[in-house]
Amino acid sequence: MLASALERTRGVPVVLSTILLNFIAVFAVSWMVEIPLRDPATSAPQTAQMADDVRLPVLVTGSRLHLGIAIATALALGLWLMERRTALGFELGVSGDNPEAAEAAGIPVQRRRLLAMGLGGACAGLAGAFQHMGVTGFMSGSTHGYGYLGVAVALLGRLHPLGVAAAAVFFSLLDGAARGVEKGTDLPRDLADCIKGTVVLTVLMVTAWSLRRMHRGKATA
């Protein structure tokens, strides 16, 4: 929402402001886990372990499949239904795809963009909460590159809520398989990252080719 407000009031591009705000967020979290929230029982820069009664319950015994996965799936379905079945979802889509036409139709484009950024930030915050409450049990100053991985997941999912969920599952399966392959063979787990990059680039190239063909077809018609 801060990035959207900067675009609305000061004309700062969202792409630029979000990239730069990442550094502020990362350093703010690092300061919190190293000073005010640091666990005094360890020398590592991290918070104390969460109590078991506030952790997300595990759905399958012997695995790390926790309740956050089910909530995230329900959230993806809800966002898809809102996008496809409600007037608000239609306005959000038009405001992003064609803001000029949206303004001509009387849609409050700036407010809809602010709402979209707020929803996106809320989903990202929930994802971080699920990671800490369901997997790690504590906070540290490391981001593990989840933000940039999310960009790749969104591109592979074609910006569709259900497609993004499917792409996230695909990437997680790749990571899990890579860890298993690394233990059983001499192949490094970085091979999974190479596969991810290849898949995303292939999808982008096919999409660009399809759009070019579509535009050529319209031009000849």
**Mean of pLDDT over the chain:** 89
Please, are residues 8 and 22 in contact by the beta-carbon 8 Å criterion?
no
pTM of the predicted model, to two decimals? 0.82
Helix (H) or strand (E) holding 156: helix 146-156
Question: To 10 degrees, the CA torsion angle through 135, 165, 193, 197?
Answer: -160
State the residue for tokens 């190479």. 194
Q: What whole-number distance in Å separates Cα of residue 118 and Cα of residue 130?
A: 18
CA-nearest of 22, 12, 5 to 147 is 22
Q: Domains of the chain: which residue ranges?
A: 1-144, 145-221
Task: Give Cβ neighbours of residue 170 (< 8 Å, ≥ 6 apart).
Answer: 156
What is the per-residue pLDDT across 95-137, written as a single tens digit (0 to 9) for each? Answer: 999 999 999 999 999 999 999 999 999 999 999 999 999 999 9
Shortest CA distance to 4 belongs to which of 119, 127, 104? 119
**Does the structure show a pLDDT above 90 at 188?**
no
